[in-house]
Amino acid sequence: MSHSTTILQSIGHTPLIRLNNVVPPGHGQVMVKLESANPTGSMKDRMALSVIEQAETDGRLKPGWSVVEYTGGSTGTSLALVCATKGYGLNIVTSDAFSLEKRKHMKALGAELTVIASHGKGITKDLIQAMITSA
């Protein structure tokens, strides 16, 4: 087993698994990437790392700055991991209409949350617009 220097280096190095008995013998192989092996258990880790590193490269993100994003879940968790590891602040605009567990996970990874009330109406177009406006 190889070891990564940082948790970010483990992102994307997920195992390739062959699925047996999916196609008839002699018709090929079906292979899948086990994305749940990423640090937060989500394929969104790849996206979060890529977005942050591209922003660093482009000069849109510099030491001491913070990232602001509106999200309801796994994107926020992945961004929280990447930002915490790289030393950036992260402000997430979310809503009580999204999973409490995901909000707790983002917060546990260091994100600051602004929670927009859904007023019991669930996820609506107006709620998403309010989140975007607040971000």
DSSP 8-state code for residue 119: T
Count the helices and strands in the chain (H runs, E runs): 4, 5
Q: At what angle do helices 100-108 and 74-86 cross, to 10 degrees?
A: 10
Active site residue 125: no
Contact indicator for 7, 45 with CB cutoff of 8 Å: no
Beta bridge partners of 30: 19
Residue 100, φ and ψ in degrees, nearest 5: -60, -40
Catalytic option among 33, 44, 107, 121? 44
CA distance 114 to 108: 14
Catalytic residues: 44
